[in-house]
Chain A
Amino acid sequence: MLELQNVTKVFNPGTVNEKVAVNNLSLKMEDGDFVTVIGSNGAGKSTMLNLVAGLWKPDSGKILIDDIDVTKMPEHKRAKYIGRVFQDPHDGTASDMNIEENLAIAARRGKKHTLKWGINKTERELYRELLSGLGLGLEDRMTSKVGLLSGGQRQAITLLMASLESPKILLLDEHTAALDPKTAKVVLELTDKIVSQNHLTTMMVTHNMKDAIAHGNRLIMMNNGSVLLDIKGEEKKNLTIEDLLEKFNQTSGQVFASDKALL
C-alpha cells in the first residue's frame, strides 16, 4: 500500500525559476492497485514518482509505504520497497555488466552487499527460467553484456529486475516511450503479465491514453502538480477516450492541449 499525504515539491524555491511541481497532492493506493497516470508535459508525473522513489524529499507532506513513513528515508534504503523502470532503456541496467550479473544485483536489492560470491548456481537457474518466460531468447545470452541488447530487451530485463524481489511498489515512468510501437506493445504485455503474476502495486506513467485506459484498474490524470481526475472500478473498466476528454474539459475548464496524449 502506498500513501501520499499532502505532498508538495517546489523546485528552485525563491528564485525566478521557482516551480511547484507537485502541489499538496494526496493519493492512496491499495495493495494490488495498478494505477495508470496521464497528464500533459510538466504536470508533475515524474516528480511524483521520484518523490515516492526518494530522489527528492518533499517540502511538506508525508509518504507511507505499507504504513512505514519513508518520507526522509534515502533513495538507496527505500529501494528495498520499490522496483523501477525508467523511460530511457539505458538507465535501468548496467551496460558493462552481463545479463545475469544485472539480475543478481537486482536480486540483492535492499540487502547488505557482503563478501559472498555475487551470484550462485541456484539463482542462475532461476534467472534462466525467468528469462525464458520473457520469450525473447535471452536465456541463452545470460553472459552477454547488457550494452549489446536492444532497447526493448533492456526494458524487459529491467522489468524483470524490478519485479525480482517482489517490491511493494512498482514505478514505471513512460517505460515504453522510447521503443518502437511493436516493441512497446510487447513490453506492455510483459508488464501486465509480471504485474498480475506478482500481484504488484503499480504506478505507470504514460502519454498514451489508449494504454492508460487499457491497462490497470485505476487511472489518474494530473495537472499542475495535482490529481485532476481519479477514475476507478467499473467506471475505469468502461472508460473511453471520449469520456476522458470530456471529463477533463469539465473539470479543468480548458480544452485538452496535448495532441500527443491522443495518440
Chain B
Amino acid sequence: MPFINALPGAIAQGLVWAIMAIGVYITFRILDIADLTVDGSFATGGAVLGIYVVNSDGSAGSIAVGMLLALLAGLVAGLVTGLIHTKLGIPPILAGILTQLILWSVNLTIMGGRANVSVNGNLYPVFIRILNSGDSIWKLVIVVGLIIALLYLFFGTELGSSIRATGNNLKMSRAQGINVNLNKVIGLMLSNGLVAVSGALLTQYQGFADINMGRGAIVIGLAAVVIGEAIFSKIVKNFALRLMAVSIGAVIYYIVYQFVISLGINTNLMKMLSAVVVAIFLGVPYLKKTHLDPILKARKEKKDASGGEDNA
C-alpha cells in the first residue's frame, strides 16, 4: 500500500505548507490582495536557512538562528512588495511579480550562484525531517497551533483590527484615520515572513533548498485556502478556526496529491491540476451568484406567487 505508507509524509508536508497557506490567507482574504511575492519568498526562506546552517557550526542553535533569519528575510521581501505597491502606486499583483523576480536573483546569490543547497539531516540537527515524519507531524502541529494562536491575538488588537478594516473597506478605513498604506505593508510583511518560515521548514524536512521550491507556491497556498473554506466555511466563523481550516486544507491538499500520485499520474501534471482546482473553487461561488441564484430566485418568486393563490 504505497499510498498508506506515504500518508505520514503527506501530512507532515501539508503542515509545513499550512504555514505558507496561512500567509496567503492574510494577504488574499484579510488584505484582499493577491500577492505573488510568495513564490519568491518561500525559496528565500529555504535559501537563507540552508546557507546559514551549512556555513555555521551546525548546532541546534544555528538552526534556530537560521529560522529567525529566514523570517526576517521574508519580512523584508514583504516590505519590498509593500513599498513598490504603496510608494510607487504599482498594482499589488505587479508589485508582487516584480519582487518575485528580484528574489529569484537574490535567492541565487544567497546560495552562492548554485541552484540548490543541501541541508543533510544526518549532519545537522534539523527540526523536522522526512525520515522521521511521525515526530515531524506533532512538532509541526505545535508550531502551526502556536502561529494560529499568535495571529488570533494579533488580529484582535487595535492594529490587527485596523488591518482587517483596511482589507475590508479602504474608504471607511481612511475616514476612520487608519493609515491604510502602512497597514498593507505590515500585512504583506507578516504574510511573507510566514511564507519564508514555511520555506525554511520545508528545506529541513526535505533536506535541501532549491531555487525552484517556491514555483507555483501561491497556487498551493490558494488551494489550501479554498479547500479549507469549502469544507469548513459553513460551520466555522471564528478567526482562529478559519486559520485552522486553512491548515487542514493544506494537509488535505497533500493527501490528495499523494493519492493522485499513487494512481500513477504523471507528477508533471500536478501543477496544472492544482491550478484547475483553485480556478474551480474560486469560480464556482461566482458562477453560482451569476447563474444559479437568479434561477433559484425566479423559481422561489414563482412558488411564492402560486403559494399565495393556494392560500387564498
**Chain A interfacial residues counted at CB < 8 A:** 33
Please report which residues of chain B, range 115-173, place their CB below 8 angstroms from some CB of chain A when the two chains form the complex: 154, 156-162, 164-165, 168-169, 171-173
> Quick check: is A226 within 8 A (CB to CB) of the other chain?
no
Q: Nearest CB to that of A80 among chain B residues?
A: B177
Are B177's CB and A93's CB within 8 A? Answer: no
> Quick check: is B267 within 8 A (CB to CB) of the other chain?
no
The docked-state distance in angstroms from the alpha carbon of A131 to that of B180 is 27
Chain B residues whose C-beta falls within 8 Å of the C-beta of A95 in the assembled complex: 168-169
Identify which of B156, B157, B165, B169 contacts A114 (C-beta below 8 A).
Answer: B157
The docked-state distance in angstroms from the alpha carbon of A101 to that of B165 is 9
Q: Nearest CB to that of A86 among chain B residues?
A: B171
Are A96's CB and B162's CB within 8 A? Answer: no
Identify which of A91, A108, A115 contacts B172 (C-beta below 8 A).
Answer: A91
Please report which residues of chain A, range 91-122, place their CB below 8 angstroms from some CB of chain B when the two chains form the complex: 91-97, 101, 104-106, 108-111, 113-119
Bitwise interface map of A from 203 to 224 toward B, beta carbon under 8 Å scored 1, else 0: 0000000000000000000000
Are A109's CB and B177's CB within 8 A? Answer: yes
Q: Nearest CB to that of B165 among chain A residues?
A: A94
Q: Nearest CB to that of A54 among chain B residues?
A: B174
> Quick check: is A139 within 8 A (CB to CB) of the other chain?
no
Question: A96-B164, A97-B164 in contact; A113/B159 too (CB < 8 A)?
Answer: yes
Chain A residues whose C-beta falls within 8 Å of the C-beta of B173 in the assembled complex: 76, 94
The docked-state distance in angstroms from the alpha carbon of A115 to that of B176 is 18
> Quick check: is A22 within 8 A (CB to CB) of the other chain?
no
Chain A residues whose C-beta falls within 8 Å of the C-beta of B169 in the assembled complex: 90-91, 93-95
Identify which of B157, B160, B177 contacts A110 (C-beta below 8 A).
Answer: B177
CB distance from A121 to the nearest CB of B (A): 14
Are A113's CB and B162's CB within 8 A? Answer: yes
Chain B residues whose C-beta falls within 8 Å of the C-beta of A117 in the assembled complex: 156-158
The docked-state distance in angstroms from the alpha carbon of A190 to that of B176 is 21
Q: Nearest CB to that of A83 among chain B residues?
A: B175
Identify which of B159, B160, B161, B180 contacts A76 (C-beta below 8 A).
Answer: B180
Are B157's CB and A118's CB within 8 A? Answer: yes
The docked-state distance in angstroms from the alpha carbon of A79 to that of B165 is 15
Chain B residues whose C-beta falls within 8 Å of the C-beta of A106 in the assembled complex: 176
Are B165's CB and A97's CB within 8 A? Answer: yes
Q: Nearest CB to that of A158 among chain B residues?
A: B172
Chain B residues whose C-beta falls within 8 Å of the C-beta of A80 in the assembled complex: 177
Are B172's CB and A94's CB within 8 A? Answer: yes
> Quick check: is B178 within 8 A (CB to CB) of the other chain?
yes
> Quick check: is A77 within 8 A (CB to CB) of the other chain?
yes
> Quick check: is A156 within 8 A (CB to CB) of the other chain?
no
CB distance from B184 to the nearest CB of A (A): 13
Question: A79-B177, A92-B175 in contact; A108/B158 too (CB < 8 A)?
Answer: yes
Q: Nearest CB to that of A115 among chain B residues?
A: B157
Bitwise interface map of A from 33 to 72 toward B, beta carbon under 8 Å scored 1, else 0: 0000000000000000000010000000000000000000
Are B156's CB and A105's CB within 8 A? Answer: no
CB distance from A199 to the nearest CB of B (A): 21
The docked-state distance in angstroms from the alpha carbon of A82 to that of B180 is 17
CB distance from B219 to the nearest CB of A (A): 24
> Quick check: is B109 within 8 A (CB to CB) of the other chain?
no
Are B175's CB and A116's CB within 8 A? Answer: no
CB distance from B160 to the nearest CB of A (A): 7
CB distance from B180 to the nearest CB of A (A): 7
CB distance from B41 to the nearest CB of A (A): 24
Question: A91-B169, A94-B168, A105-B165 in contact; A118/B178 too (CB < 8 A)?
Answer: no
The docked-state distance in angstroms from the alpha carbon of A82 to that of B168 is 21
> Quick check: is B179 within 8 A (CB to CB) of the other chain?
yes
Chain B residues whose C-beta falls within 8 Å of the C-beta of A111 in the assembled complex: 177
Are B177's CB and A94's CB within 8 A? Answer: no
Please report which residues of chain A, range 123-174, place their CB below 8 angstroms from some CB of chain B when the two chains form the complex: 161
Are A114's CB and B159's CB within 8 A? Answer: yes
- 15 A-B interface contacts by CB (under 8 A): A75-B175, A76-B180, A77-B177, A79-B176, A84-B175, A90-B169, A92-B175, A93-B169, A97-B168, A105-B176, A115-B154, A115-B159, A118-B158, A118-B160, A118-B161
Across the A-B interface, the 5 shortest Cβ-Cβ residue pairs: A79-B177, A118-B161, A94-B168, A110-B177, A113-B158
A79-B177, A96-B164 are known; give 19 further A-B pairs, CB within 8 A: A53-B175, A76-B177, A80-B177, A86-B171, A91-B171, A93-B169, A93-B172, A94-B165, A94-B173, A95-B169, A97-B168, A101-B161, A104-B161, A105-B161, A110-B177, A113-B158, A113-B178, A117-B156, A118-B157
